[in-house]
Structures are given as C-alpha cells and as structure tokens.
Amino acid sequence: MSKKALCIGINDYPGTQNDLSGCVNDATDWAAALTTRGFTVTQLIDAQATKAAMVAGIGGLVSGAAKGDTLVITYSGHGTWVPDLNGDEPDGRDEGLCPWDIGAGKVLLDDELAPLLANRAAGVRVLLISDSCHSGSVTRGDNADLDAGMPRARFLPPEVWMKAEDLPAPRAARLPAVGGLTRSGGDLLLAGCTDTQFSWDTRFKSRPNGAFTYYALKALAALPASATYQDWFKKITPAYLPTNQLPQNPQIFGTRTARAWKVFA
C-alpha cells in the first residue's frame, strides 16, 4: 500500500489581470504536511500547472494506484464555470478549475475530472481538497491570525477568460459550485465553502494563504493520531470558519464510511 499526492497551486494567471497570492504557499504547505505523513508528493506550481499537465498529473496518479493505496489531490487557485452543453447540470452550468493557461481558454471541467478519477482500481481511496471559487455574512470564528485588509475571492468570472461570442446569455447571477466536484468520482471532497460562497485568498501573519487551507492545516496539526476526516472537519468549522471577514462555510462530501477513515491513513 502506498500513499501519493498531487498538490497544485496557481497564483499567476497570464492574460486575466486576476492573479492571486496565497495559492503557491497553499500547495507548498499541503505538500509539507502530507510528506510528514508518509506521502510521496508531486507539485504543479504556476506555469507548471497547465491544463495538459493537470490532466496528466491527475490521470497518472490515479491510473498508477493499486488496491489499498491512498491518493490526495489538493488544488488552490481560481474556480470558474461554463455553460453546460450535455444537460447533466440542473443549473445549466459546468463548474471548472482554472489552470495556469486559462487565459488561452483552457479550463478543467468537472465533466473532465470525472473520467480521470473513475479510472482507478477497486480499493483505491481518493481525497480531493479544493480551496477555490464559489458570500454570506456571519460573525463567529477566529480572526486572530488574519492580517488587516480585505481578502480576495478565488473566483474567475467567465467574461474574464472566455471569448465574447462564447459567453452565455445574461441570467440571474450565480457563483461557481462545489456540486460538480462532488460528482467527480473521489471518495471524499473537502471544499473551502458552499456553492453560493467564495473561498478567500488572504494573509496570515504577513504570509499569503487561502483561508481554508490555513485553518485546515492549523486544525490538522492539533488532531490526535486516531482522528477521522469527520473529526478534522469539525475542528475547522465553526471554530475557525466562517468569520465576519471570511464569510465561507467549509464543506465535506462523502459517505459515512469514508468520513470515518483515519486522516491520511
């Protein structure tokens, strides 16, 4: 049995004028935490994280796994959406992750992730951690570590990167959803927020990070060895998120059995 991970972090989005600041740190931090827990980790950072490279990285990770292996895929970057063309989305929109080359029209859709993750052997565990896309307002949580100043949403509107002729007709505003990822084939999804919220890119103690990644790793460091994914999730929210400055509600999706697995076992 082996443990492998792919950690993706994209700050640089050429051609969009929508660069982020904390995603590379997120990927580095996830990689460090996973390495200490016995994972062999590959990273795709900025220009390395083209759509082709993300597809190859995820596909290779999954297809190369055997029964009993545990796989973790973390993504920190922008999320977006496109019009649904095959009728499988109730809201008429496919959600997607934004590779480094999104400015050239390259987007990794949930419909493309699904077959990549489905190509796994029986008994392979897959955990997706998405600190991207998707506002609300609440006043609980813990802002003690958060630097002053407004954070930035990890959402890239279609009009930023799509050609004008490809944009859908105007309709009621909606933020990108985690819904597509929940159907993409992993056993568990940990997401930074609900499908009507943003995940925030901000700074803690003068260092850029995603809010969800920062607090998820802070909670992880304090977990006992026997902790489950559900235990971990309960330590993240509502203790740390949401807050009045970071109005995002982290989410966990997966079966009761998967939620009861030991964290990164």
Q: How far apart are the first and last CA of the chain?
A: 10
Domain layout of the chain by residue ranges:
3-259
What's the pLDDT at 23? Answer: 96
> Average pLDDT over the chain, rounded to whole?
84
Least confident of 3-12, 176-185, 212-221: 176-185
Least confident of 23-27, 56-60, 86-90, 228-232: 86-90
Can you tell me the mean pLDDT for 150-161?
71
Q: How far apart are CA 86 and CA 136, in angstroms?
A: 31
Q: Is 78 a catalytic site residue? A: yes
Can you tell me the mean pLDDT for 24-40?
98
Can you tell me the mean pLDDT for 255-261?
94
Can you tell me the mean pLDDT for 31-48?
98
What's the pLDDT at 154? Answer: 78
Confidence of residue 94 (pLDDT cuts 50, 70, 90): confident
Catalytic residue among 23, 78, 134, 193: 78
What is the percent of the chain where pLDDT is above 70?
79
Compute CA distances 244 → 123, 151, 213, whole Å: 41, 12, 18
Confidence of residue 99 (pLDDT cuts 50, 70, 90): very high
Is 60 exceeded by the pLDDT of residue 45?
yes
Residue 15's region, left for phi above 0, alpha for psi from -120 to 50, else beta, is left
Residue with the larger pLDDT of the pair 126 and 195: 126
Q: How far apart are CA 232 and CA 263, in angstroms?
A: 8
Q: How far apart are CA 69 and CA 218, in angstroms?
A: 26
Catalytic residue among 7, 23, 98, 133: 133
- Domain 3-259: which CATH number of 3.30.1490.20, 3.40.50.1460, 3.40.47.10, 1.10.150.120: 3.40.50.1460
Can you tell me the mean pLDDT for 131-158?
57
Is 90 exceeded by the pLDDT of residue 52?
yes
Is 70 exceeded by the pLDDT of residue 130?
yes
Confidence of residue 85 (pLDDT cuts 50, 70, 90): low
User: Three-class SS of residue 113?
Assistant: helix
Is 90 exceeded by the pLDDT of residue 96?
no
Confidence of residue 147 (pLDDT cuts 50, 70, 90): low
Residue with the larger pLDDT of the pair 179 and 252: 252
Which strand ranges, in their side-by-side order, compose the sheet holding 207-210?
152-153, 200-204, 207-210
Q: Quickly count: other Cβ atoms within 10 Å of residue 114's Cβ.
A: 17
Is 90 exceeded by the pLDDT of residue 87?
no
Is 60 exceeded by the pLDDT of residue 141?
no
Q: Which of 14-23, 76-85, 86-95 is most confident?
A: 14-23
